[in-house]
Amino acid sequence: MLLVAQSGRAEDAMDQARKRYAAGEREYASGRYWQSAKAFEEAYDLSRKGDLLYNAARAYDRGEYYLRAIETYEAYLKAGTPPDVEQINQRIASLRKQLCQVQIKLGTKAYVFVDGHEYYQTPMAGPVSIDSGYHRIEVRAGNRFWAKEQQFVPGERYEFEAQLEEDRGGGQGLVSTASVEESRSKPRTRQVAVVVGAGGSVDVLGNNYPPHQASLLIGAEYRVKEGLRGAFDLGVKIPIEFLQSWTNAGLLIGARGALTPVPRIPFELVLSLDLGFATLDYRSSAPVSPKWPCASPSALASCSIYAFRIVPAVSVAYRFAPSFEVRAQLAGIELNLSDPIFDPRLSFGLQAAYRFF
């Protein structure tokens, strides 16, 4: 009977672990990385399966809770002999560079919270590590508190004199972990991006002026301003289009307005407008068009036309890591203004952006 009871309890624990694992998966997909990591940790406590610690560490890492990610990666390494020890140690070393040092000067006992999560106690013997980025630090002892909210830079050291005041209910105060997580500012986006992409243009009128073509793109952008739910970028692009005996190239200056529907999920809806100049060159073997500006047949092997180009577009973007995002241009209208006027084309494409600084 004892063996049966123990077997039943073990099965119940594994069933609860599976439920917490499924909850962690759902929270991760929803961008609630702190809650996801906590669910994976609870599943580990119930099952003692070391891979769940890796899942928790990845959730902390993805949510840019670097200090918690380091601690959980280290716990994962201690829980067994994983095959990816070298890669995990490299990631830990990389994450340590994202931390900064903070010292709260207070001689009495109090609890230190970062974005609503308890990290340390005072008095502190020396500076302690916290994640870089935009954070709210609170120090609480009973109904007395002190708070500071600002951007923290990796590798920097900060010292604060905490003078506790009575909490009369007018400040933000501490609320539930879930509520704090929802209201926490989104991670800062790295400001400079290098963009490469591929796509195509479709001749919607069928005049072959110009025809359907494939395209490549290279460019650079700078994030001028960013808020909780939106951002504004300026950039430069060099598109190159080819196929069907046409070869086109342009130099475009553009602006992007990005809307972030859910701040903690790195997904953006983007409206963009690019302006610039383009050179469109076609050879005598190009598909026939009623708009040839050059004599045909001609003694020249090709004909080049210069145009002013306008490209409004709608896109979506998802940032898989702080330094890498993928974009899809869902629809764009390419307008080339010259004499004669070029036919409009629909453009689409897929791009990758590497972000730094």
Percent of the chain scored above 90 by pLDDT? 52
pLDDT surpassing 50 at residue 102 = yes
Check residue 249 and give its pLDDT: 95
In this predicted structure, what is the pLDDT of residue 48? 86
Region of 175 on the Ramachandran plot (φ > 0 left; ψ -120 to 50 alpha; else beta): beta
pLDDT of residue 179: 47
Rounded to two decimals, the pTM is: 0.56
pLDDT digits (tens, 9 = 90+) for 225-283: 887 788 999 999 999 999 999 999 999 999 999 998 877 678 899 999 999 999 999 88
CATH of domain 2-96: 1.25.40.10
**Position 176 pLDDT exceeds 50:** no
Q: Out of 101-115, 197-211, 287-301, which region has the weakest mean confidence (pLDDT)?
A: 287-301
**Residue 322: which residues within 8 A CB-CB, separation 6 or more?**
64, 187, 190, 355
Query: pLDDT for 273-331, tens place per residue?
Result: 999 999 999 887 888 888 877 765 555 567 888 999 999 999 999 988 778 899 999 99
Reported as a pLDDT band with limits 50, 70 and 90, residue 174 is: very low
Cα dist from 9 to 23, 36, 46, 130, whole Å:
21, 25, 11, 39
Averaged pLDDT for residues 87-91? 92
pLDDT of 220 > 50? The answer is: yes
Shortest CA distance to 92 belongs to which of 84, 103, 81?
84
Between CA 23 and CA 311 the distance in angstroms is 43
CATH code of the region 192-356: 2.40.160.20
Report, as an integer, the average pLDDT of 115-122.
86
pLDDT computed for residue 296 by the predictor? 55
Q: Which residue has the tokens 């900060």?
A: 158
Rounded distance, CA 122 to CA 141, Å? 10
Confidence label for 8 from pLDDT (cuts 50, 70 and 90): low
Looking at residue 1, its pLDDT comes to 47
Highest mean pLDDT among 8-17, 28-37, 323-332: 323-332
Give the mean pLDDT of the chain: 86
User: Where are the domains positioned within the chain?
Assistant: 2-96, 99-181, 192-356
The CA-CA-CA angle for residues 96, 98, 100, to 5°, reads 90
Best CATH choice for the domain 99-181 from the list 2.30.30, 2.60.40, 1.10.3470, 2.60.120: 2.60.40
* Enclosing H/E stretch for 90: helix 85-96
Question: What integer pLDDT is reported at residue 13 of this predicted model?
Answer: 79
Q: What is the DSSP string of 50-88?
A: THHHHHHHHHHHHTT-HHHHHHHHHHHHHTS--TTHHHH
Q: Please, are residues 16 and 44 in contact by the beta-carbon 8 Å criterion?
A: no
Least confident of 51-60, 171-180, 236-245, 306-315: 171-180
User: What confidence score (pLDDT) does residue 117 get?
Assistant: 82
Q: Order of strands, edge to edge, in the sheet holding 157-161? A: 128-131, 99-105, 157-161
List, for residues 135-164, the tens digit of each pLDDT value: 889 999 988 989 988 888 888 999 999 999
